[in-house]
Amino acid sequence: MQLPFFLARRFVAGENFSQAVSKVKELNHKGIPVTLDLLGENVTDRDTAEATTLEYCDLLDGIRDEQLDATISIKLTMLGLDIDTGYCRENLHKLLDKAKKLDQFVRIDMEGSDYTQRTLDLFYDARKIYGRHVGIVIQAYLFRSREDIAALVQNGADVRLCKGAYNEPPSLAYKNMSDIRTMFKNYAADLMKFTDNTRIATHDDHLIEWTKRYASENRIPQEKFEFQMLYGLRLSTCEDLVKEGYRVRIYVPYGTMWFPYFSRRLRERKENIWFILRNMFRN
């Protein structure tokens, strides 16, 4: 059954690029750059993986043509990671060739733990060739992230740090919010101290305030880190942060395959469910 798009529009900027463009321009106008994300995951046939790679390349052209202040995020399972790692690498490099040519940036989103090692392997391999044009994401809830952060700090990589959005087993991940916040702070501190571009991806006031305090106490300049939030959440907080001089970027998803992303947002926060229910009865 296909659910109607109006359910998702709080969190998803449109079903295609042209619908998303006006939302991106509004944010850019407020001094907020974005990360565009063409929604979808777990592609299982080569035709779709290749079509998706081309669509990402077209997206980079679209950003240039519309003069948007935007980079992109991708999921490797959309480029064929479930089909074959070497094949996914070919598609990723096609996209990164294009990104390098346009002086653009591609961040590889982090998916469930079955993909973590392969995603990091493909990231390190791409980083050797494409340098500052590619970045990665680390999930603070995973036990393994301690070692992963140490290696990424050594590498000087551009890391987005988030709590993690997948339902991982207790053998692999912290389940308790206070543990996850502690690990988030440890990793953020290392990234902010030792790398030039830390992306703090959270809506959590506790972590936002901690980041501001940590940066100020350790004299970390505001250009060295950026807050990131999701489209549809906490816009006024983003605007306040911009007024205070902080860098803020909003992750803007669009596309017809919005259901898995949408359901993760509902699972995360019961207020999001109430918001959708209220809107259903208004429509």
Positions marked catalytic: 109, 160
The yes or no reply on residue 234 touching ligand FAD (CB under 6 A) is: yes
The amino acid that residue 216 corresponds to is S
Stretch that binds ligand FAD, among 76-84, 120-128, 187-195, 227-235 (CB under 6 A): 227-235
Measure CA of the first residue to CA of the last residue in the chain; give whole Å.
19
Q: How far is the CB of 166 from ligand FAD (least distance, A)?
A: 6
For ligand FAD, the closer CB: 109 or 158: 109
CB contact burial 171-192 (16+ within 10 A = b; e otherwise) = eebbeeeeebbebbbebbbbbb
Choose one: 13-21, 45-53, 63-71, 161-169; the region binding ligand FAD (CB under 6 A): 161-169
Convert residues 126-155 into a mask of x (bound to ligand FAD by CB under 6 A) and - (unbound).
-----------x-x----------------
Nearest to 190 by CA among 222, 156, 240, 226: 156
Q: In this complex, which beta carbon is closest to ligand FAD, that of residue 65 or of residue 81? A: 81
CA angle centred on 145, ends 139 and 197, rounded to 5°: 65
Structure tokens at 216: 């100020």
Question: Shortest distance, CB of residue 149 to ligand FAD, whole angstroms?
Answer: 15
202 binds ligand FAD, rule: CB under 6 A: yes
Decide: is 52 part of the binding site for ligand FAD (CB under 6 A): no
Binding mask 76-115 for ligand FAD (x = CB under 6 A): ---------------------------------xx-----
Which residue pairs from 13-19 have beta carbons closer than 8 angstroms and sit at least 24 positions apart in sequence? 13/231, 13/252, 13/253, 13/254, 14/254, 15/254, 15/255, 15/256, 15/258, 16/254, 16/255, 16/256, 17/58, 17/59, 17/62, 17/254, 19/254
Burial class (CB in 10 A: 0-12, 13-18, 19+), 264: middle
Q: CA 38 to CA 257: how far, in whole Å?
A: 9
- Asked if 197 is part of the footprint of ligand FAD (rule: CB under 6 A), the reply reads no
153, two tokens = 């700090």
Q: Which of 163, 190, 198, 226 binds ligand FAD (CB under 6 A)?
A: 163
Closer residue to ligand FAD in complex, CB, 38/137: 137
Total site size for ligand FAD, rule CB under 6 A: 23
257 near ligand FAD, rule: CB under 6 A? no
Residues near ligand FAD, by CB under 6 A? 109-110, 137, 139, 160, 162-166, 201-205, 228-230, 233-234, 251, 268-269
